Structure 1
Amino acid sequence: MALDIVIWPHKVLTTATKPVTDFGPALQTLLDQMAESMKEAEGIGIAANQVGESLRVALVGREDGTSFEIVNPQILEKKEKVTLEEGCLSVPREWEKCPRFHRVKVRYQDRTGEWHELEAEGRLAHVLQHEIDHLDGHVFVDHLSGLKRTLILDRMKKLQKAKSRQKES
């Protein structure tokens, strides 16, 4: 069952998530629900706090259309600054240029708790940075100028009000 995606500036998106310590059935269910939510929203990545769960877990989309799970991820290295067009499921219909790195090295656990290291570049590195930012309590708009952030914030507040009215009807 897909979960609703939280819209920025909801507090769960601006607060660092908690490390996963229990790799039991509840985590497995959450990961499956996150995959459904990402698929339904046609996203290329999703973090747990985007569906209201303050846990350090995300799904990261690969270029071939598949995805993989990262639990308790840490970026170990960043190389080659780039500026990339970026959007977000929690900031719908907004796209802006955002500073990132072309290459990253990440350490993370899978759904069973086993540790992995991954060196990524290009689009995969971009998605990893975006999702790990979410887990650290940051949304891509945090990288933008104050003016752009304020304009987007106004549009997101209007969107939140419209969604609230829909639920009441």
Structure 2
Amino acid sequence: MARDIVIWPHKVLTSPTQPVTDFGPALETLLQEMSESMAEAKGIGIAANQVGVALRVAIVGREDGTQFEIVNPQILSKEGSVKYEEGCLSVPDVWEKCPRVERVKVRYQDKTGEWHELEADGRLAHVLQHEIDHLDGHVFVEHLGSLKQKLIKERMLKLQKSLARRKDEPSQDKGTKRS
């Protein structure tokens, strides 16, 4: 079942996540829920803290439409510089040119706990950086100028309030709360 996406600047998005130590069924369930949330929101990546879980795990989408999980990732090296148009499920309807590095080497575990190393460039390097930023407690907005950050933060705070009000309103058809 898909989980709700947390809207920035919620505290779970601005705090570093905790390492995963249990590679059992709970992690598998979390990954399934994250995948469903990402698909529902039409995203190309999602970090656990974007669904309110402060664990160091993310799902990364490849350009061919496939995806893989990264658990306890670390960026080992960075090269070059590039700017990509970037958006985020936790900062809906905002797209900005964001500075990133062109190539990364990442070490991470899969859902079974096995370690892997991956060298990536282009869009995959971009998505890896974006998701690892989330796990470190950062969103892409922090790579922008202070005025843009302030304006986007104000919009997201208004959105948070609007979403909270909607959850508290009774449903028109059944008298229950909406999710």
Indicate the structure (1 or 2) with the bigger Cα radius of gyration.
Answer: 2
User: In the alignment, what sits opposite 1:158?
Assistant: 158
User: In the alignment, what sits opposite 1:149?
Assistant: 149
Q: Return the alpha-carbon distance in structure 2 between the equivalents of residues 17 and 148 of structure 1.
A: 26
DSSP 3-state at the match of 2:31: helix
Gaps of 5+ in 2: 170-179
Q: CA deviation at 1:88?
A: 0.2
User: In the alignment, what sits opposite 2:85?
Assistant: 85
Q: Return the alpha-carbon distance in structure 2 between the equivalents of residues 25 and 10 of structure 1.
A: 27
User: In the alignment, what sits opposite 1:65?
Assistant: 65
Residues 1-150 of structure 1: pairs in structure 2 closer than 5 A:
1-150=1-150
DSSP 3-state at the match of 2:84: strand
Q: Return the alpha-carbon distance in structure 1 between the equivalents of residues 31 and 128 of structure 2.
A: 16
Q: Return the alpha-carbon distance in structure 2 between the equivalents of residues 121 and 143 of structure 1.
A: 19
Q: CA deviation at 1:6?
A: 0.1
Amino acid at match of 2:46: I
Amino acid at match of 1:23: F
Gaps of 5+ in 1: none
- With structure 1 as the length reference, what TM-score do the two structures score? 0.99
1:102-135 CA distances to partner (integer Å, 9 max, x unpaired)?
A: 1100000000000000000100000000000000
Q: CA deviation at 1:165?
A: 1.0
Q: Percent identity?
A: 76
DSSP 3-state at the match of 1:33: helix
Q: Return the alpha-carbon distance in structure 2 between the equivalents of residues 157 and 31 of structure 1.
A: 28
Q: Which has the higher strand share?
A: 1
1:49-87 CA distances to partner (integer Å, 9 max, x unpaired)?
A: 000000000000000111100000000011011111110
Q: Return the alpha-carbon distance in structure 2 between the equivalents of residues 26 and 50 of structure 1.
A: 17
| Count, aligned residues | 169
- With structure 2 as the length reference, what TM-score do the two structures score? 0.94
DSSP 3-state at the match of 2:6: coil
Q: Return the alpha-carbon distance in structure 2 between the equivalents of residues 148 and 136 of structure 1.
A: 21
Q: Return the alpha-carbon distance in structure 2 between the equivalents of residues 83 and 42 of structure 1.
A: 22
